[in-house]
Amino acid sequence: MNFVLHGHAVSTGITVGYAHLVATARLEVAHYEIAPDAIDDEIERFDRAMRAAQKDLEDLKAHIAADAPKEFAAFLDLHRMILSDSALSVVPKDLIRTRRSNAEWALVQQMERLVERFEEIEDPYLRERKADVQHAVERVLKQLMGAQTVVEPAVSEEQKLIVVAHDLSPADMILFKRHRYGGFVTDVGGVTSHTAIVARSLGIPAIVGLHHAFQTISEGELVIVDGERGLLVVNPDPVVLAEYRERQAELKAERQRLKKLKKTRSTTEDGTPIELFANIELPQDTAEVLDAGAEGVGLFRTEFMFLNRKDLPGEEEQFEAYRDVAQAMKGRPVVLRTLDVGADKAMNGGAGQHTMPNPAMGLRAIRFCLAEPQMFLTQLRAILRASHYGEVRILLPMVAHAHEIDQTLALIQQAKQQLEERDQPYDRAVQVGGMIEIPAAALALPIFMRRLQFLSIGTNDLIQYTLAIDRTDDAVAHLYDPLHPAVLTLVANTIQTATRGGMPIAVCGEMAGDLQLTRLLLGLGLRNFSMHPSQLLPIKERVLNTNLAEVQPAAQRVLRNTDPAKTRDLLAKLNS
């Protein structure tokens, strides 16, 4: 039976492939009673899933790269030990016998008991091991529920795999970067959640907020991910499939045409130069940055080096990663944002992610770094050392108070002194900038302009905090609006104030890569955009076909308008 699910498109394009279900233990599992004569079969099903999960871990360990960190093998060994323990390998079978319950429910019940015990442990390191229990159980659940762990997908155009999940964390998405999947779809999530941002960086179609995809789609079903309109077509009929194949060919031809602009200088029709930079999550992303012809890295989200692991990356590991990016960019600027964890980017495998009453407004980003000065100093030393190998700049996330800048600058000075004592070189003139992503920072801009060398507007969080909308929550996704008068006023005033004061300013949030907003931002005075590499060439084409003298008055009309429908009409005229 063919049907269509509607969600929110977060990465454009169209792909046809086969559903690959990815489950998590955070999903509620079904609970049902089994017949007395089916108990032995259910226990055998449980044992079979346990054996399959153990074999999966063995296979993963056998394929660890020779140069991979030793923690990878230790991590897999720990999960094997957890699954071998009688608390998980025996007790669930007792529950199946005594309560005649299905294997999934028995396993999750025992997992929850173990997690509760871990939460009572005072030692924070041991307490966080509950995440290992959850992840090990997830692997067994995937076997029981028919959903699989990450596999190396087929790479032919006809056999692409589409990841279907209830939810995926940004850390999950980073793991998927190693594989050539055709697309991603999830039941939950917002258009500008970090999971969506990483999906966009993969340059493949993705849809979030589908609600019932994981429950209604079977492993291996043929699906079409329409990242243009946010549609997931399941078991398409031959006519629909042919139409989408034709549209795929058109999009491929369009991408090939845009590649011709790679070496074209980015200027408006009237000759004004516009800087186009790229955002990255991992050092290996620099290949895409160079392929897109970006003028540099406008945002390196360094926190993704801290995810999918139980320890913190040391100074050497960080230094090597930052140095590799600086060297790969061959003198082009590289803006390294300091660690921004919290909210939807939790460290330690997700442990502690929801321990704060409101993670988005709690101890995250610069607040977290200042609360952990030794960890912060380690990162600052690594960044400073990398500055010897290229034009590296430091960007501070989520600044709201003058004292946060002052404390950070003091720590940077301390890090410099430590490097001088070691006789290690660094760029003594390294620039330090700040992210404007809290309304308080936008409204008190001179405070930051007096202390910093450059600014970058993080529109994702700026919209979230201005409109009081959790950008990871699809229940309020329809309220997330970059064209809201308050948002546009903050963005426009920030650009204008910085420009008048001679302060370099960029937009590095998702607004920078939104083709519908390019002319509006140019008209408001923006001259520096930073976006995902896959978005850069379409944005460049729009810049090349824009006359500033024409768009500036039109942008002011959009800014002055307060009626949502009229705002969109004015924007359509601006882009026509």
pLDDT digits (tens, 9 = 90+) for 417-470: 999 999 999 999 999 999 999 999 999 999 999 999 999 999 999 999 999 988
CB-based contacts of 359, cutoff 8 Å, min separation 6: 342, 343, 344, 346, 353
Q: What region does 122 belong to: left with phi over 0, alpha with psi -120 to 50, or beta?
A: alpha
Q: Kindly indicate the confidence band of residue 377, based on its pLDDT and cuts at 50, 70 and 90.
A: very high
Burial of 37 by CB count in 10 Å (0-12 exposed, 13-18 middle, 19+ buried)? exposed
Q: Are residues 196 and 340 in the same domain?
A: no
Per-residue pLDDT of 139-191, as tens digits, reads 888 788 765 444 444 444 456 889 898 877 665 666 666 566 888 899 887 77
pLDDT value at 326 more than 90: yes
Give the C-alpha separation, 221 to 235, whole Å. 7
Q: Kindly indicate the confidence band of residue 353, based on its pLDDT and cuts at 50, 70 and 90.
A: very low
**Model pLDDT, residue 503:** 97
CB-based contacts of 339, cutoff 8 Å, min separation 6: 302, 303, 306, 365, 368, 369, 375, 376, 379
Identify whether the C-beta of residue 194 lies closer than 8 Å to the C-beta of residue 208: no
pLDDT value at 125 more than 70: no
Residue 208, token pair as written in the block: 């979030």
Catalytic residues: 194, 508
Q: Are residues 214 and 330 in the same domain?
A: no
Q: 14-23, 92-101, 240-249: which has the minimum mean pLDDT? A: 14-23
Q: Are residues 401 and 512 in the same domain?
A: yes
Annotate 427-464 with b (16+ C-beta within 10 A) or e (fewer).
beebbbbbbbbbbebbeebebbbebbebbbbbbbbbbb
Note whether residue 31 is domain-resident. no
Q: Are residues 283 and 313 in the same domain?
A: yes
**The domain containing residue 107 runs over which residues?**
36-144
The strand ranges marked E within 349-491 are: 392-396, 431-436, 454-457
From the DSSP assignment, how many helices (H) and strands (E) are in the chain? 24, 16
Per-residue pLDDT of 221-271, as tens digits, reads 999 999 989 999 999 999 999 999 999 999 989 989 999 999 999 999 999
Strand partners of residue 226 = 14, 231
Identify whether the C-beta of residue 515 lies closer than 8 Å to the C-beta of residue 537: no
Identify whether the C-beta of residue 210 lies closer than 8 Å to the C-beta of residue 164: no
Instruction: Map tokens 């003091």 to a residue.
Output: 410
Q: Are residues 16 and 128 in the same domain?
A: no
* Number of residues in the chain: 576
Q: Are residues 391 and 538 in the same domain?
A: yes
Q: Are residues 228 and 368 in the same domain?
A: no
Give the C-alpha separation, 299 to 335, whole Å. 5
Identify whether the C-beta of residue 71 lies closer than 8 Å to the C-beta of residue 310: yes
Q: Would you say the C-alpha torsion 560, 562, 566, 567 has a positive or negative sign? A: positive
Identify whether the C-beta of residue 184 lies closer than 8 Å to the C-beta of residue 176: yes
Give the C-alpha separation, 79 to 74, whole Å. 9
Query: Could you count the other beta carbons within 10 Å of the beta carbon of residue 222?
Result: 15
What mean pLDDT, rounded, does the chain reach? 87
| CATH number of the domain to which 123 belongs | 1.10.274.10
Three-state secondary-structure class, residue 186 = strand
Identify the domain boundary among 232, 256, 280: 256
Note whether residue 481 is domain-resident. yes
**Model pLDDT, residue 95:** 92
Q: How far apart, in Å, are the Cα atoms of 322 and each of 328, 339, 380, 431?
A: 10, 13, 11, 15
Q: Kindly indicate the confidence band of residue 117, based on its pLDDT and cuts at 50, 70 and 90.
A: confident
Per-residue pLDDT of 511-535, as tens digits, reads 999 999 999 999 999 999 999 998 9
Q: Provide, for the chain, the percentages of residues in helix, strand and coil under a 3-state DSSP scheme, each rounded to the nearest 5.
A: 55, 15, 35
Q: Are residues 430 and 331 in the same domain?
A: yes
Q: Kindly indicate the confidence band of residue 335, based on its pLDDT and cuts at 50, 70 and 90.
A: very high
| CATH number of the domain to which 212 belongs | 3.50.30.10
**Model pLDDT, residue 475:** 77
Kind and range of the H or E run holding 551: helix 548-560
Note whether residue 99 is domain-resident. yes
Q: Are residues 401 and 464 in the same domain?
A: yes
Note whether residue 362 is domain-resident. yes
Comparing C-alpha atoms, which of 323, 318, 20 is closest to residue 162?
20
At residue 352, what is the residue type? G
Q: Are residues 426 and 397 in the same domain?
A: yes
CB-based contacts of 332, cutoff 8 Å, min separation 6: 294, 295, 296, 297, 390, 391
Q: What angle do CA 437, 443, 448 make, to 5 degrees?
A: 70
Mean pLDDT of all residues in 266-286: 94
Q: 13-22, 173-182, 273-282, 365-374: which has the minimum mean pLDDT? A: 173-182
Note whether residue 30 is domain-resident. no
Note whether residue 29 is domain-resident. no
| CATH number of the domain to which 560 belongs | 3.20.20.60
Burial of 124 by CB count in 10 Å (0-12 exposed, 13-18 middle, 19+ buried)? exposed
Identify whether the C-beta of residue 232 lies closer than 8 Å to the C-beta of residue 224: yes
pLDDT value at 289 more than 70: yes
Q: Are residues 359 and 431 in the same domain?
A: yes
DSSP 220-270: T-EEEEETTTTEEEES--HHHHHHHHHHHHHHHHHHHHHGGGTTS--B-TT
Note whether residue 236 is domain-resident. yes
* Count of structural domains within the chain: 3
Identify the domain boundary among 98, 122, 144: 144
Identify the domain boundary among 144, 162, 194: 144
Note whether residue 570 is domain-resident. yes
Q: Are residues 277 and 252 in the same domain?
A: no
Residue 289, token pair as written in the block: 């940055």
